[in-house]
Amino acid sequence: MQDKRLSMIVLLLVTLIALAIITGCIVRAIIAPPSIALIAPANGATGQATTLLLTWEATPGEAKNQKTPVTIIGYGLFFAPINEDYGAPEPRPDKQAEKTGLAYGATYKWKVAAVQSNGQTAESTERTFTTTNRLYGAPQIALTSPENGATNQATSVTLTWEATEGKQTNAGERDGANLTEYRVYHKKTGDPDPTEPATTTDKSYNLMNLDYAATYTWYVVVHQSDGQRATSTERSFSTQAAQYAAPEIALKSPRNGAEGQLTTVTLTWEATPLSLIHISEPTRPY
C-alpha cells in the first residue's frame, strides 16, 4: 500500500514538471516581437536638407500571460547611399538620429531595427529620400569702361566689365557654380538691335573700325554654370569726329623772283588733298 502511494506521488511530480515545462514554452511563444514604423522623412521625399533628423516609432510586443512586460532596449540604424550596401547598424538609444554632412542632390536609403528585452527583434520597412540640389543666386556684372556717355572715343574701343558668381543660397559656402561666358551686345545708334551677340570668356571685348562721330550703345549678359544669368546696365559712348591733316601746296611758276615776265602771266601750283589722321589707340578715361 505504501509503495502504491509512493508511485502516485512520483507520477504527480512528473506531471507537474511536465506541465511547468509546457507552460513555460507557451509563455515564451506568445510574447510578440516589437513593432516599428519609420516616421520622417516620408518615403521618396525630395528636396531634403543636408542635415536632417530621422525619426521612428516602436512598441514592444504584448505579453499578456507574463507579469513583467518586455521593453525595447535599443535600436540599430541602417543608413547608406542608394547605390551602396548597408554597413553595420549604428546603435541608437532613442527614436531619432540626426544625419549631417549629406551630399547635395544625392539619394539615401535607411531602415531601423528594434531590439526587445527578451532578445526578439523587428526591422522596419526601408525608405529613401533625396537631398536638395545646390541653389545659387544670380551672377553679378558691372561695366567698367568706357564710362557711360564717354565722348571723343577712338574708332577702336576695348569694352571692359567685372563679374562675380552668384553665392550659394542654401549653405554657408559657395561651391561649384562658375561663370561660363559673356555675351556682348553693341550697336550704332539708329541701327537695328543685334540678333547675334559677340561671345567671349574674357572680361573685355575689342570693337574695331567704328564710324567717326557716331554714338554706340552696349551691354553684357553673363551666364552661370547652373543656367542663371544676369544683364548689365546699358552704356553709351561716342567716337570722335574725323581729323584731317592740313593740305600741302607749292607754287610752280613763275618762279620766285622771275624777271621779264609778259603782261599776261599764267600762275601755276601743285597741291595735295587733305589726309585723314587715323587714331589707333582708344581714348581711355583715367
Average pLDDT, the chain: 83
Using a pLDDT cut of 90, give the percent of the chain over it: 54
Question: Tens of pLDDT along 45-68?
Answer: 999 999 999 999 999 988 766 667
Band of the pLDDT at 255, cuts 50, 70, 90? confident
Q: Between residues 19 and 265, which one has the greater pLDDT?
A: 265
Residue 271 pLDDT > 60, yes or no?
A: yes
Q: What is the pLDDT of residue 5?
A: 52
Residue 258 pLDDT > 90, yes or no?
A: no
Using a pLDDT cut of 70, give the percent of the chain over it: 82
CA angle 245, 246, 247 (to 5 degrees): 115
Residue 12 pLDDT > 80, yes or no?
A: no
Question: Tens of pLDDT along 21-41?
Answer: 444 444 454 788 899 999 999
Q: What is the pLDDT of residue 11?
A: 54
CA distance 201 to 184: 11
Question: Tens of pLDDT along 202-237?
Answer: 999 999 999 999 999 999 999 998 888 999 999 999
Q: What average pLDDT does range 250-265 have in this prediction?
A: 84
**What is the torsional sign of CA 35, 41, 46, 48?**
negative
Domains of the chain: 30-131 (2.60.40.10), 140-242 (2.60.40.10), 244-277 (no CATH)
**Strand 243-245 relative to strand 229-231: parallel, antiparallel, unpaired?**
unpaired
CA distance 141 to 218: 13
CA distance 66 to 248: 125
* 80 half-sphere exposure, CB direction, 13 A CA radius: 10
Q: What is the pTM of this model?
A: 0.54
Q: Which one, of 144, 42, 56, 120, lies nearest residue 93 by Cα? A: 56
Q: What is the pLDDT of residue 25?
A: 45
Residue 283 pLDDT > 60, yes or no?
A: no
Residue 200 pLDDT > 80, yes or no?
A: yes
- 254 preceded by a cis bond (ω within 30 of 0): yes
User: Any bridge partners for residue 235, and if so which?
Assistant: 218
Per mean pLDDT, which range of 10-19, 123-132, 160-169, 188-197 is the poorest?
10-19
CA distance 205 to 185: 11
Band of the pLDDT at 264, cuts 50, 70, 90? confident
Q: What average pLDDT does range 65-93 have in this prediction?
A: 89
**Strand 45-48 relative to strand 127-131: parallel, antiparallel, unpaired?**
parallel
Q: What is the pLDDT of residue 66?
A: 63
